[in-house]
Amino acid sequence: MSESWQEGIKILLRQSKISFLATQGRHGPESSMAPFAIHEGDILLHLSKLAAHTMNIENSAAIGLMICTPETEADSPLALPRLSLQGEATPVTEDRLEAAKAAYLSAIPYAESLFGFGDFRLFKFKPESIHWVGGFGRARKVTQGQWYNITLAP
Amino acid sequence: MSESWQEGIKILLRQSKISFLATQGRHGPESSMAPFAIHEGDILLHLSKLAAHTMNIENSAAIGLMICTPETEADSPLALPRLSLQGEATPVTEDRLEAAKAAYLSAIPYAESLFGFGDFRLFKFKPESIHWVGGFGRARKVTQGQWYNITLAP
Q: Which CATH superfamily is domain B5-152 in?
A: Electron Transport, Fmn-binding Protein; Chain A (2.30.110.10)
Chain-centroid distance of CA B66 in Å reads 7
Cα–Cα distance between B70 and A19 in angstroms, integer? 12
Residue by residue, DSSP assigns B87-100 as EEEEEPPGGGHHHH
Winning range, highest mean pLDDT, from B65-74, B81-90, B113-122, B134-143: B81-90
Distance of alpha carbon A107 from alpha carbon A124, whole angstroms: 15
Interior angle at CA A130, CA B13 and CA A54, nearest 5: 60
For A121-139, how does the pLDDT look when each residue is reduced to its tens digit (9 = 90+)?
A: 999 999 999 999 998 778 9
- Give the gap in angstroms from C-alpha A60 to the nearest C-alpha of chain B: 9
In chain B, residues with a C-beta closer than 8 Å to the C-beta of A24 are 28-29
Q: Are B8 and B131 in contact (CB under 8 A)?
A: no
For the stretch A51-104, pLDDT in tens is: 999 999 999 999 999 999 988 766 788 889 999 999 999 999 999 999 999 999
Of A29, A31, A78, the CB nearest to B35: A78
Please compute the mean of the pLDDT values over residues A10-28 and round it to a whole number: 95
What residues does each domain of chain B span? 5-152
The pLDDT value recorded for residue B154 is 67
Q: Is the Cβ–Cβ distance between B63 and B29 less than 8 Å?
A: no
pLDDT of residue A76: 80
Tell me which amino acid residue A12 is: L
Chain B: residues touching A (Cβ < 8 Å): 16-18, 20-25, 27-33, 35, 60, 62-66, 68, 70-73, 75-78, 80, 82, 84-86, 108, 110-111, 129
For the segment B21-48, the average pLDDT, to the nearest whole number, is: 97
